[in-house]
Amino acid sequence: MAIQGRNGKIKGKINNIVYRSYRDKQVLQILPDRVRQTYATKLAALEFGLASIQAKILRRILCNFVGEYDGKMAVRLNAAVLECLRTSQREVGERTLHDADLGGLKGFQFNANAPIERLVKVRPSIDLAPNGQIRIALPRFNVMSDLVYPKEPQRFVPCFFITVAAFNFFEESLHIIDYASFEFTGDNQEAEIDWLCSRQLPKGSMVFITLALSYVHTNWVGQRQVTKDSAFSPSIILDAFHVTDAMASKGAEDGLETPKEAMPCDDIFTRKLREIAYFKKKYAKNAR
């Protein structure tokens, strides 16, 4: 239904014509015809939903360890996951991160307003052993000259935080394998990071290693506070890889410690897979 407003302009819909105002002008638009989706477009939409769910599970866990993130991070992560899914050899609608190349997620930055390469002049290295031990190193750097600091009156010190997390969507399980923080307080200190994550990696899981940098200071009453400038809250996925059967077995044989924390995951991933399977089965039945 269309009505005439106090300004004399009509707004609303009559049949397939929509009346509206745009910059003090009366605009008439014709509604488009109803679009009939094909099997391929419906399946692609379902796969996009599956990609979004996997990205959502990653966000729920990893964002607890990475500090601030920009407003479009979720959209960017969805796109990165979808890019990975397209590397899988499985059929559309059945592709998951578990059978995809995770390269599209390596280097993903949670805060596009704080690219880490702008703030840290040295680059980290990662070494993965056959038994799943992970060595993460940041080569020697000068705390003052090799880091960029916020232009605030407080005296900040840099704090690096590394997290190793494992995900198994099919088993609905999540593991925080290990984490560590490194704070450097010296004015002109030469520093480096050389950390070994020596814990078992769960069989069939995907492992994500994140690095975050925060700038902290202690206020007059002894409380630790971080900078309010979001341009100085960088975080990145350093690496992402699949845990092979051999890697998991070797870690257990070598007596590595179990993951620091295990937690359940809800069934939104498996429910989406069942929805896609039902859609494909229903289409195949109707096509006979």
For residue range 200-211, list pLDDT tens digits in order.
999 999 999 999
Beta strands in 187-284, from DSSP E residues, in sequence order: 190-197, 206-218, 224-226, 235-242, 261-264
| Domain count along the chain | 2
Domain assignment present for residue 288? The answer is no
Average pLDDT over residues 231-259: 96
Q: What is the predicted pLDDT for the residue at 288?
A: 64
Q: Residue 8: which domain range?
A: 1-34
Whether residues 30 and 72 share a domain: the answer is: no
**In a shared domain, residues 60 and 192:** yes
If asked whether residues 122 and 73 sit together in one domain, one would say: yes
Among 111, 64, 57, 65, residue whose Cα is nearest residue 81: 57
Please indicate, yes or no, if residue 43 is contained in any of the structural domains. Answer: yes
Please determine, for residue 197, whether its predicted confidence score (pLDDT) is greater than 90.
yes
The predicted model scores a pTM of 0.85
Are 102 and 138 part of one and the same domain? Answer: yes
Question: Which pLDDT value is given to residue 49?
Answer: 94
Residue 119 corresponds to which tokens in the numbers above?
């703030």
Residue 122 included in any domain: yes
For residue 64, pLDDT over 80 is answered with yes
One domain for residues 131 and 267: yes
pLDDT confidence of residue 17: 76
In a domain, 156, yes or no: yes
* Statement to judge: residues 10 and 55 lie in one domain: no
What is the DSSP annotation of 40-104? HHHHHHHHHHHHHHHHHHHHHHHTTSS----TTHHHHHHHHHHHHHTT--SPTTT--GGGS-GGG
The stretch 94-114 carries a mean pLDDT of 96
Q: Does residue 114 share a domain with residue 5?
A: no
- 153 and 193 within one domain: yes
Both 16 and 131 in one domain: the answer is no
Using 50, 70 and 90 to split pLDDT, how confident is the model at 6? low
CB 264 within 8 A of CB 167: no
pLDDT score, position 1? 62
Instruction: State yes or no: pLDDT of 27 exceeds 80.
Output: no
The b-or-e profile of 274-284 (16+ CB within 10 A means b, else e) is: eebeeebeeee
Q: Which residue has the higher pLDDT, 189 or 253?
A: 253
E strand intervals along 152-234:
157-168, 173-183, 190-197, 206-218, 224-226
Pair (76, 160) in one structural domain = yes
Written as six digits, the tokens of 32 are 């488009």
Is the per-residue pLDDT at 18 higher than 90? no
Pair 3, 94 in one domain? no
* pLDDT of amino acid 58: 96
Average pLDDT, the chain: 90
